[in-house]
């Protein structure tokens, strides 16, 4: 099959729909692009935390941060913090953005383990502090543009992500970007999908009486996936074997102390049956409890969530929630991805394609990353033709990317030693798939990389977030015994080398802290440069 794609119809609005519309109209301004959205169906609207990868997508669309930040109540984000994931009460660690600094290191990313073995009381959170200059900003809750490069390895434009109101961001893309560039918007609901096994979808029947055809339909209808799953019945591959959670309670709450609580990171706190996110926006906090309803009922999970919010000092009692008008939204999810996400003339983007639970802030990640791959497929031929090979390549690339990130998220559970509740005890017994079964060498996973680092390589190399997550959860790639056994050197000589490595790390950390001491807090920076007043 080789087909020319000129007319594209996107079904569903929200973040996925309008990010797709904005991307396609930017890259293919001469194509006929229409977005159909129901005025009666609300969007999920809780993807409020992004990763640095979004900056490449924003650059492609020529969108500057100041274009959307004020209207979407946005703040900057420099890191993700994880608390109590290793053990209850074990403390917190960060996975920071930006690149590592290994100046003067003798073992690149691994010098910190020498420091840990020499000074065992060193907290595991110190790994990120010693490896990433950006942590000097995170620890002091500060931010600056670093235009003169005084803080090494920190690029303000590339290494900052965003917290924002996802609904407002989608609306901004709709009114300020996509529609002005030529995207047609139909406010209607799809009532019937006419399709056949050979061609895919023939047309959509809308509730306004209109019949809509297209060369390519993009399914952005969320978990319902009315085109890919509903009409074409594409099989869904569950990943619940490695990702335990399938539910969430979400809420928006007011600040108690805005200057203090407007942090430069997304906070993730593991509790009895899952974990709680806290996301600081300019005007409020976004928060939610991600859990598994196999271990706790929705009603009990809501009470557990409320207890957590009380413990943070935001509320006193049940009446306090009611008096402040706090609304709690329950969200059910399916974790996994469709076997193919582009089938015949239907391609799915966002939740309709697949979903990894929100840990590591990946809610919007698959949207812009799948779109970046889609435009490469659609842009191969100058006349707009797409073959079955092109579609197969797209499915392979997206599935591989999704699987690798799902494994990385699952690693946060696989490395845990919590055993304080049935939920955590069962996680400790899980078979984490890729590490115990035959692995296709073309799909090396985060599991195998973490295993090889400890059992084969005795060190971490360029593995993205794996060294930070592993170190934070007490999973080191080497140990004192191995270092001594496999090196022709006595223990006293090893201790001297340890000390030199540790001193170098501490010296750099102190220099970074000194550099940022006079930088503005994030609140003050945003007030001056983005939001103006409260």
Query: What's the first-to-final CA gap in the chain, in angstroms?
Result: 56
Residue burial 354-369, b: 16+ Cβ < 10 Å; e: rest: bbbbbbbbbbbbbbbb
C-alpha closest to that of 453 among 425, 489, 477, 428: 477
Q: What is the pLDDT of residue 402?
A: 93
The share of the chain scoring above pLDDT 90, in percent, equals 77
Q: What is the pLDDT of residue 478?
A: 79
Is the predicted pLDDT of residue 441 greater than 50, yes or no?
Answer: no
Confidence class for position 436, pLDDT limits 50, 70, 90: very low
The region of weakest confidence among 171-185, 310-324, 455-469 is 455-469
The per-residue pLDDT for range 259-293, each reduced to its tens digit, is 999 999 999 999 999 999 999 999 999 999 999 99
Token pair 């060190």 is found at 459
Report yes or no: 205 and 192 within 8 Å, Cβ to Cβ: yes
Is the predicted pLDDT of residue 382 greater than 70, yes or no?
Answer: yes
Give me 46's structure tokens: 């809780």
Q: What is the pLDDT of residue 283?
A: 94
Listed in sequence order, the residues at least 6 apart from 34 whose beta carbon sits closer than 8 Å to its beta carbon are 7, 8, 9, 10, 183, 184, 185, 186, 212, 214
Question: What pairing do the DSSP bridges indicate for beta strands 190-196 and 200-206?
Answer: antiparallel
Report yes or no: 238 and 334 within 8 Å, Cβ to Cβ: yes
Is the predicted pLDDT of residue 86 greater than 90, yes or no?
Answer: yes
Mean pLDDT of 496-510: 92
The region of weakest confidence among 100-109, 431-440, 501-510 is 431-440
Is the predicted pLDDT of residue 56 greater than 90, yes or no?
Answer: yes
C-alpha closest to that of 166 among 62, 300, 15: 15
Is the predicted pLDDT of residue 346 greater than 70, yes or no?
Answer: yes
Please report how many Cα atoms fall inside a 13 Å half-sphere around the Cα of residue 26, on the Cβ side: 21
User: Starting from the edge strand earliest in sequence, which strands make up the sheet with 216-219, in order?
Assistant: 184-187, 32-37, 7-11, 216-219, 346-348, 342-343
Is the predicted pLDDT of residue 178 greater than 80, yes or no?
Answer: yes
425 compared with 361, residue with greater pLDDT: 425
258 compared with 485, residue with greater pLDDT: 258
The region of weakest confidence among 84-93, 192-201, 433-442, 465-474 is 433-442
Question: For residue 372, with 0-12 CB atoms within 10 Å meaning exposed, 13-18 middle and 19 or more buried, which class applies?
Answer: middle
Please report how many Cα atoms fall inside a 13 Å half-sphere around the Cα of residue 67, on the Cβ side: 13
Is the predicted pLDDT of residue 79 greater than 70, yes or no?
Answer: yes
Is residue 218 classed as helix, strand or coil in its secondary structure?
A: strand
Report yes or no: 519 and 143 within 8 Å, Cβ to Cβ: yes
The share of the chain scoring above pLDDT 70, in percent, equals 91
Confidence class for position 161, pLDDT limits 50, 70, 90: very high
Listed in sequence order, the residues at least 6 apart from 322 whose beta carbon sits closer than 8 Å to its beta carbon are none
Question: For residue 299, with 0-12 CB atoms within 10 Å meaning exposed, 13-18 middle and 19 or more buried, which class applies?
Answer: exposed
CATH number, span 2-48+165-239+334-408: 3.50.50.60
Which element (helix H / strand E) includes 505? helix 491-516
407 compared with 299, residue with greater pLDDT: 299
Is the predicted pLDDT of residue 501 greater than 60, yes or no?
Answer: yes
Neighbour tally for 123: CB within 10 Å: 13
Question: For residue 231, with 0-12 CB atoms within 10 Å meaning exposed, 13-18 middle and 19 or more buried, which class applies?
Answer: buried
141: left (phi over 0), alpha (psi -120 to 50) or beta: left
Is the predicted pLDDT of residue 299 greater than 60, yes or no?
Answer: yes
Mean pLDDT of 502-507: 96
Cα dihedral 255→260→261→267 (10° resolution)? -170
94 compared with 199, residue with greater pLDDT: 94
Q: What is the pLDDT of residue 438?
A: 39
Beta-strand (E) ranges in 262-328?
265-271, 274-280, 285-291
Q: What is the pLDDT of residue 321?
A: 86
Report yes or no: 476 and 450 within 8 Å, Cβ to Cβ: no
Give me 59's structure tokens: 């650059």
350: left (phi over 0), alpha (psi -120 to 50) or beta: left
The per-residue pLDDT for range 447-464, each reduced to its tens digit, is 566 666 655 556 676 668
The region of weakest confidence among 8-12, 93-97, 497-501 is 497-501
421 compared with 48, residue with greater pLDDT: 421
Listed in sequence order, the residues at least 6 apart from 109 whose beta carbon sits closer than 8 Å to its beta carbon are 100, 102, 131, 459, 460, 461, 462, 467
In the chain, what's the furthest Cα-to-Cα distance?
Answer: 83
Model confidence, pTM: 0.93
Confidence class for position 75, pLDDT limits 50, 70, 90: very high
447 compared with 215, residue with greater pLDDT: 215
């Amino acid at each position: 099959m080789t087909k020319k794609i000129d007319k594209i119809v996107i079904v569903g609005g929200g973040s996925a729909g309008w990010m797709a519309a904005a991307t396609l109209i930017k890259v293919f301004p001469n194509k006929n692009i229409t977005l159909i959205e129901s005025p009666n169906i609300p969007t999920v609207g809780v993807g409020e935390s992004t990763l640095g990868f979004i900056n490449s997508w924003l650059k492609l669309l020529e969108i500057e941060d100041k274009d959307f930040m004020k209207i979407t109540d946005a703040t900057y984000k420099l890191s993700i913090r994880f608390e109590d994931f290793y053990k209850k009460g074990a403390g917190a660690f960060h996975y920071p953005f930006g690149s590592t600094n290994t100046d003067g290191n003798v073992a690149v990313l691994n010098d910190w383990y020498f420091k840990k073995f020499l000074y065992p009381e060193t907290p595991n959170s110190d790994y990120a502090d010693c490896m990433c200059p950006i942590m000097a900003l995170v620890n002091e809750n500060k931010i600056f543009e670093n235009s003169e490069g005084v803080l090494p390895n920190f690029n303000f434009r590339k290494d900052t992500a965003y917290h924002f109101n996802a609904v407002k961001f989608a609306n901004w893309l709709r009114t300020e970007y996509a529609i002005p560039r030529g995207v047609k918007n139909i406010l209607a609901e799809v009532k019937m999908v006419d399709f056949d096994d050979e061609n895919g979808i023939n047309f959509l029947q809308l509730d306004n009486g209109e019949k809509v055809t297209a060369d390519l339909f993009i399914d952005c209808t969320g978990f319902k996936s009315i085109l890919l799953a509903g009409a074409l019945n594409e099989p869904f591959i569950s990943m619940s074997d490695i990702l335990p959670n399938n539910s969430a309670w979400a809420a928006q709450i007011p600040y108690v102390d805005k200057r203090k609580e407007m942090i430069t990171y997304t906070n993730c706190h593991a509790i009895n049956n899952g974990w709680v996110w806290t996301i600081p926006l300019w005007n409020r906090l976004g928060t939610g409890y991600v859990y598994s309803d196999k271990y706790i009922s929705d009603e009990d999970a809501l009470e557990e969530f409320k207890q957590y919010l009380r413990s943070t000092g935001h509320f006193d009692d049940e009446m306090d929630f009611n008096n402040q008008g706090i609304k709690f939204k329950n969200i059910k999810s399916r974790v996994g991805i469709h076997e193919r996400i582009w089938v015949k003339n239907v391609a799915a983007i966002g939740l309709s394609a697949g979903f990894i639970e929100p840990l590591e802030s990946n809610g919007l990640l698959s949207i812009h990353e799948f779109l970046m791959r889609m435009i490469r497929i659609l842009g191969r031929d100058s006349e707009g033709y797409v073959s079955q090979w092109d579609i197969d390549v797209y499915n392979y690339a997206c599935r591989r990317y999704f699987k690798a990130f799902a494994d990385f998220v699952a690693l946060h559970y696989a490395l845990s030693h919590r055993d304080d509740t049935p939920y955590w005890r069962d996680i400790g017994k899980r078979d984490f798939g890729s590490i115990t079964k035959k692995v296709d060498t073309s799909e090396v996973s985060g599991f195998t990389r973490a295993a090889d680092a400890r059992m084969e390589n005795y060190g971490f190399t360029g593995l993205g977030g794996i060294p930070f997550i592993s170190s934070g959860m007490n999973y080191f790639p080497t140990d004192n015994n191995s270092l001594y056994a496999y090196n022709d050197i006595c223990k006293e000589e090893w201790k001297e080398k340890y000390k030199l490595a540790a001193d170098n790390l501490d010296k750099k950390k102190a220099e970074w802290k000194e550099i940022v001491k006079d930088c503005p807090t994030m609140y003050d920076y945003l007030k001056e440069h983005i939001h103006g007043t409260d």
